[in-house]
């Protein structure tokens, strides 16, 4: 113990004699410790710390990357998601979402907010329970279903004054009325901390001239038209050949 005290006293004397070297050493240590702490915080939050959702190790987040080499991403076509959903045999649930800045009114002043447009299975996939009201059920994202929304806990407290009777109230999202059906938990913030509400994404199949490709009448009508075109295209040359005099045809050539 005596030797340790002597060594510390000797080190302090040397540091006092050379303040420049001491300052550089202390600054280097401070920068190194700060950088390591910052890197560990990012790694811990992204890779080590589990997500705040039940069975988070079973969640899969899929994005579409563009082949540019720059890490650019693009949106998933609705037709692709519907195909994945119909062919799904591995995942318990599938959900899709997109975010956008929208104008929200009907609950105080009109403000620009971040809205996450999501499919009905969004909250079920994450295993989240509402703080008030309910989340979406099967069929709430189908064509013709009413437009509905779930608001954040902060939105409910600040814009709806934490009133339980706010459920069923209508808010305007980019000029379209959405019925408020539920309130998200206080610390729920997916896909971002700035999301204030989640509106329903209707999973309408892609259509051409407002006609669904899965419609049976469309399938029968299209097949009939194609069959008629094929018959006519084969019949006309044969009819012409059968009704033309070979001698006349040779003279014409």
Tens of pLDDT, residue by residue over 192-225, are 889 999 999 988 766 554 455 555 666 677 778 7
The burial class, CB within 10 Å (0-12 / 13-18 / 19+), for 161 is: exposed
Q: Which residues contact 112 (CB under 8 A, 6 or more apart)?
A: 101, 102, 103, 104
Distances (CA, A) of 244 to 234, 237, 248, 251: 16, 11, 7, 12
The answer as to whether 39 is a domain residue is: yes
- How many structural domains is the chain composed of? 2
- Model confidence pLDDT, tens digit, residues 87-111: 888 888 999 999 999 999 887 778 8
42 and 103 share a domain?
A: no
So what's the pLDDT on residue 202? 87
Structure-token pair, residue 28: 């280097």
**What pLDDT does residue 200 have?**
94
- Which residues, including other chains, have CB under 8 Å from residue 134's CB and lie 6 or more apart? 181, 182
Would 14 be classed as within a structural domain?
A: yes
Within a domain: residue 106? yes
* 152 falls within a domain: yes
Q: Are 199 and 146 in contact (CB under 8 A)?
A: no
108, 185: one domain: yes
Which residue has better confidence, 3 or 184? 184
Task: Write out the two tokens for 245.
Answer: 């005099």
In a domain, 223, yes or no: no
Range of the domain at 25: 2-48
Beta-bridged to residue 130, according to DSSP, are none
CB-side neighbour CA atoms (13 Å) of 208: 6
**Do 192 and 109 fall into the same domain?**
yes
Measured distance CA(206)–CA(192) in Å, rounded: 29
Q: Which of 146, 93, 102, 101 is nearest to 123 (CA)?
A: 93
* Residue where a domain stops, chosen among 166, 184, 200: 200
Is 139 part of any domain? yes
Per-residue confidence (pLDDT) for residue 246, from 0 to 100: 58
- pLDDT 10s digits, 25-67: 778 877 887 777 777 666 655 555 667 778 888 888 888 777 7
252 assigned to some structural domain:
no
Whether 116 is in a domain gets the answer yes
The proportion of the chain whose per-residue pLDDT surpasses 70, expressed as a percent, equals 73
Nearest residue to 200 via CA among 111, 88, 96: 96
124 and 44, same domain (yes or no): no
Are residues 187 and 109 part of one domain? yes
15, 33, 48: which is the final residue of a domain?
Answer: 48
DSSP for 127-161, please give it: T---SEE----TTTTSTTPPPEEEE-HHHHHHTST
179 plus 114 within the same structural domain? yes
């Amino acid at each position: 113990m005596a030797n340790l005290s002597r060594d510390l006293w000797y080190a302090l004397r040397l540091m006092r004699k050379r303040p420049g070297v001491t300052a550089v050493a202390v600054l280097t240590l401070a920068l190194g410790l700060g950088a390591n702490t910052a890197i560990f915080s990012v790694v811990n939050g992204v890779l080590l710390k589990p997500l705040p959702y039940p069975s988070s190790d079973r969640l899969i987040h899929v994005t579409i990357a563009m082949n540019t080499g720059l890490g650019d991403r693009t949106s998933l076509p609705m037709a692709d998601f519907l195909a994945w959903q119909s062919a799904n045999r591995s995942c318990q649930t599938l959900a899709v979402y997109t975010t956008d800045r929208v104008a929200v009114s009907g609950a105080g002043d009109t403000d620009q907010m971040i809205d996450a447009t999501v499919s009905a299975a969004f909250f079920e996939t994450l295993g989240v329970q509402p703080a008030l009201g309910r989340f979406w059920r099967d069929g709430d994202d189908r064509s013709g279903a009413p437009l509905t929304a779930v608001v954040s806990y902060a939105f409910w407290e600040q814009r709806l004054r934490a009133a339980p009777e706010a459920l069923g109230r209508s808010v305007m999202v980019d000029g379209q009325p959405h019925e408020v059906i539920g309130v998200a938990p206080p610390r729920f913030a997916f896909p971002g901390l700035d999301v204030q509400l989640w509106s329903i994404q209707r999973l309408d199949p892609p259509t051409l001239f407002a006609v669904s490709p899965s419609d049976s009448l469309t399938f029968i009508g299209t097949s009939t038209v194609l069959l008629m075109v094929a018959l006519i295209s084969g019949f006309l040359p044969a009819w012409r050949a059968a009704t033309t005099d070979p001698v006349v045809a040779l003279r014409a050539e």
